[in-house]
């Protein structure tokens, strides 16, 4: 099967449509991963590109003081008569348009058109996000290419930011700086939650998705997704941090 041709320099909306038109249901992302890898190698020669299963990794080596990680999954939920994409006015319809090929398109476009960004960039396009966690391609990347997840800031280009669970493990500290009063606001207009300092983590029960107990006991040492520290923490009554799986 011929590898689809992607123009990473095209308008991101057109690029989103092109990505949607390549089916990539979880477990069947090879064709899209091939297309993304080929396009990055041909159109972004300033990037180091690595393939890991059906995940595609790319990064700059500019010697900048800070590094930003841009992560997005290539897979989608099952197709329901919504491929290929279609447009109605200014609205684009198709499987994976918002979850999350639009984000992938923006990241790929930036990678190809910004050869000298202010910060070093790492891009991680991974597979099997929409299925069981043990199949998630980001876990494989973490095991096989852990150095690629080191960054000062990680951004997941998906509208529903609560789904950034594993991308936040890139040792990045808090996702956003605290607003006045020591509180942060999640994207999407949800209610603000208490800010979590960089090296403090929650003391909820190990193995749970979220530890919401108020506690000043010593940290159990498991990696907290907000502070990413495996050492004992000051444990100052954090109620919002979530344990990494």
Tokens found for residue 111: 């990678």
Q: Is the pLDDT of residue 114 over 50?
A: yes
pLDDT digits (tens, 9 = 90+) for 199-208: 333 333 344 4
Distance CA 141, CA 139 (A): 5
What mean pLDDT is predicted for residues 140-151?
Answer: 95
Q: Which residues contact residue 205 at a Cβ distance below 8 angstroms, ignoring those fewer than 6 apart?
A: 211, 213
Query: In the numeric block, which tokens belong to residue 33?
Result: 């991963």
The residue from 29, 34, 75, 99 that is catalytic is 75
Average pLDDT for 36-59: 97
Average pLDDT score, the chain: 76
Between 1.10.600.10, 3.40.50.300, 3.40.630.10, 3.40.630.40, what CATH number should domain 12-169 receive?
A: 3.40.630.10
Question: Is 11 a residue of the active site?
Answer: no
What residue ranges in 153-210 does DSSP mark as E strands?
153-156, 183-184, 193-194
Of the candidates 104, 129, 130, 158, the residue annotated as catalytic is 129
Nearest residue to 97 via CA among 82, 80, 111, 112: 82
Buried b (16+ CB within 10 A) or exposed e, 25-61: bbeebebbbbbbbbbbeebbeebebbebebbbbbbbe
Give me the pLDDT at residue 4, please: 87
144 is catalytic: no
Domain ranges of the chain: 12-169, 193-245
Q: CA-to-CA distance for 77 and 229, rounded, in angstroms?
A: 33
């Amino acid at each position: 099967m011929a590898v689809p041709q992607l123009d990473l320099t095209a308008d991101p909306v057109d690029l989103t449509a092109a990505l949607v038109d390549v089916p990539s249901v979880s477990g069947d992302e090879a064709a899209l991963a091939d297309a993304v890898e080929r396009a990055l190698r041909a159109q972004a020669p300033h990037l180091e590109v690595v393939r890991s299963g059906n995940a595609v990794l790319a990064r700059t080596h500019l010697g900048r003081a800070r590094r930003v990680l841009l992560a997005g999954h290539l897979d989608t939920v099952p197709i329901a008569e919504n491929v290929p994409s279609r447009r109605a006015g200014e609205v684009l319809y198709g499987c994976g348009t918002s979850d999350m090929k639009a984000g992938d398109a923006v990241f790929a476009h930036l990678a190809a058109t910004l050869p000298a960004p202010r910060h070093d960039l790492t891009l991680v396009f991974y597979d099997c996000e929409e299925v069981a966690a043990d199949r998630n391609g980001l876990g494989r990347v973490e095991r096989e290419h852990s150095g690629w997840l080191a960054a000062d800031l990680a951004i997941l280009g998906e509208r529903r930011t609560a789904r950034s669970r594993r991308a936040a493990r890139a040792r990045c500290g808090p996702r956003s700086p605290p607003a006045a009063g020591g509180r942060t606001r999640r994207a999407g207009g949800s209610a603000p939650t208490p800010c979590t300092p960089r090296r403090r983590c929650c003391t909820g029960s190990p193995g749970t998705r979220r530890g919401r107990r108020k506690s000043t006991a010593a940290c159990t040492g498991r990696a907290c997704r907000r502070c990413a520290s495996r050492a004992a923490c000051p444990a100052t009554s954090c109620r919002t941090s979530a344990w990494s799986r």
